[in-house]
Every structure is written in structure tokens, then in C-alpha cells.
């Protein structure tokens, strides 16, 4: 079933759009089944669960399997996450960014990140406001061990397609503004928007990554 779901999703994604399989709350066996179906990028939102799966995996057998982190990352959990992921999609504060920079300096590594933009209506969501991201990127040269790769965002939690469409349009427009404003940030091209219920809308607004869990793995376990 996982194989068929991945095949259908991939067939509907334009060239250049990456499918990120959200494997949180699903067992490693499901990850490996998806890998066998051709999926290579997986996302976790809890450091302990990520580390458990990484430690249980024979990396030599799956050398091209990539992990992304998509949850709120506490600074005291960096060492559980940063050595194992190719992208942190959910950088939601300058404090976190500063700590990632310190970790990168101490470990001689450059960490690829997306900046999480708060665009939904819910006040509980994490993330930057637009002006905060602009201010931060003016300081990008000070982050020698961080690669700024783009933006991540979630639409409002609603069934109203017009609201979701407006949310994604806002982040798409802001992304275009940033690309024009900071041409020196050559890697700043990724826009991670769209999940199982709204990825098709996200495609209309420039998504380069869609984060899909339930539509691949079924309900959370």
C-alpha cells in the first residue's frame, strides 16, 4: 500500500518538487518499506524518535537515505539531531539559529536550514514574522556555519480552501521578495509548504518540497 501511495504522489508532482515523507509516529519498518518504493527523504519532528530510528538503521545498507527535521527543536537537543539530518526545516527563532551556529563552529560542520514563517491563523504556531526574517538575512554573513536554503510554512488549520490558498500565496510572494532582496544567498531557493491535505494547493504557489505523512503511511501509530 505504501508503494502504491508513493507512486501516485510522485506521478502528480512536477519535476523539481521533492517529496518529503513524514515518518513521525510510524515504525522504522514503514520507513524501509517506503525506501524500497524509491522514497529517499524522510522527516521526523521529535529528537528521541529520530535518534532511535537512526541508531536502528544500518546506514551502510541505506547510504542515500536522508533525514529532515520538521519539529520545534529545543537547543538542548541539538546533538541528537544535527549530526544526522541533511536539513533542519523548522528554525523558528534567532536564539535557535545562534545555537545551531555555535554547534556548527564547534563541530566543523555547516548546517542547512529553512526558516519557519508563521503564516497560519493559529497563535500557537512557532515561527518568524516577515520582518524578523528580513532582519535576520541581513545578518546572514555572520552565520558562517549555516546554509540558508529557504522557507518553511504551514497554512491555517481549516477546510476553507480560499484561506489556505491565501496563506500559501503570502509565503510564495514573500519568498520571491527575499530571493530578489538577497541575491547573494545562492542556496535560498527551497519553499517547503503543503502537507497531506493541502499539497495540491501548495503546488500552485511555488512549493519545492511537500511534507506528506498520512497520505503515505496512513493514520499515526
Interval 32-83: pLDDT, tens: 999 999 999 999 999 999 999 999 998 889 999 999 999 999 999 999 999 9
pLDDT at 121 over 90: no
DSSP bridge partners of 113: 88, 148
Query: Domain boundaries in the chain?
Result: 2-217
Residue 42 exposed, middle or buried by CB count within 10 Å (0-12, 13-18, 19+): buried
Local structure of 36: helix, strand or coil: helix
- Pairing type for strands 190-192 and 87-91 reads unpaired
Let me know: does 3 contact 27? Beta carbons within 8 Å.
Answer: no
User: What is the average per-residue pLDDT within 171-193?
Assistant: 98
Cα-flanking dihedrals φ and ψ of residue 129, to 5°? -90, 165
What's residue 62's pLDDT? 94
Grade residue 154 by pLDDT with cuts at 50, 70 and 90.
Answer: very high
221 against 145, higher pLDDT: 145
Kindly state the percentage of the chain with pLDDT values over 90.
Answer: 92
| Structural domain 2-217, CATH architecture | Alpha-Beta Barrel (3.20)
Give the whole-number percent of the chain exceeding pLDDT 70. Answer: 97
Task: Give the model's pLDDT for residue 178.
Answer: 98
Q: What is the chain's alpha carbon radius of gyration, rounded to the nearest angstrom?
A: 17
d(CA 116, CA 90) in angstroms, rounded, equals: 5
**Residue 221 — pLDDT band, cuts 50, 70, 90?**
low
| First-residue to last-residue Cα distance in the chain | 16
Predicted TM-score (pTM) of this structure: 0.95
Average pLDDT over residues 117-125: 74
> What pLDDT, on the 0 to 100 scale, is given for residue 59?
84
87: Cβ contacts below 8 Å, ≥ 6 apart: 66, 68, 69, 112, 113, 114, 149
The span from the CA of 130 to the CA of 144, in Å, is: 22
Q: Return the pLDDT at 34.
A: 97
Please tell me the number of Cα atoms within 13 Å of 10 on its side-chain side.
14
Residue 124 pLDDT = 61
**pLDDT attached to residue 219:** 84
Amino acid at each position: 500500500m505504501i508503494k502504491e501511495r508513493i507512486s501516485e504522489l510522485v506521478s502528480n508532482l512536477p519535476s523539481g518538487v521533492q517529496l518529503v515523507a513524514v515518518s513521525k509516529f510510524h515504525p522504522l519498518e514503514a520507513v524501509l518499506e517506503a525506501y524500497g518504493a524509491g522514497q529517499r527523504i524522510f522527516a521526523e519532528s521529535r529528537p528521541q524518535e529520530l535518534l532511535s530510528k537512526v541508531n536502528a538503521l544500518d546506514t551502510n545498507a541505506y547510504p542515500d537515505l536522508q533525514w529532515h527535521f520538521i519539529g520545534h527543536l529545543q537547543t538542548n537537543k541539538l546533538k541528537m539531531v544535527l549530526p544526522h539530518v541533511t536539513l533542519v526545516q523548522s528554525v523558528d527563532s534567532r536564539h535557535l539559529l545562534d545555537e545551531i551556529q555555535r554547534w556548527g563552529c564547534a563541530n566543523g560542520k555547516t548546517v542547512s536550514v529553512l526558516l519557519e514563517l508563521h503564516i497560519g491563523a493559529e497563535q500557537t504556531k512557532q515561527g518568524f514574522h516577515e520582518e524578523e526574517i528580513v532582519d535576520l538575512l541581513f545578518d546572514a554573513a555572520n552565520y558562517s556555519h549555516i546554509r540558508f536554503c529557504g522557507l518553511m510554512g504551514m497554512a491555517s488549520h481549516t477546510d476553507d480552501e480560499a484561506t489556505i490558498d491565501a496563506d500559501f500565496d503570502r509565503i510564495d510572494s514573500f519568498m520571491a521578495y527575499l530571493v530578489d532582496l538577497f541575491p547573494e544567498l545562492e542556496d535560498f531557493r527551497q519553499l517547503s509548504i503543503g502537507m497531506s491535505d493541502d499539497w495540491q494547493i501548495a503546488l500552485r504557489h511555488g512549493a519545492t518540497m511537500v511534507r506528506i505523512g498520512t497520505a503515505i503511511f496512513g493514520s499515526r501509530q
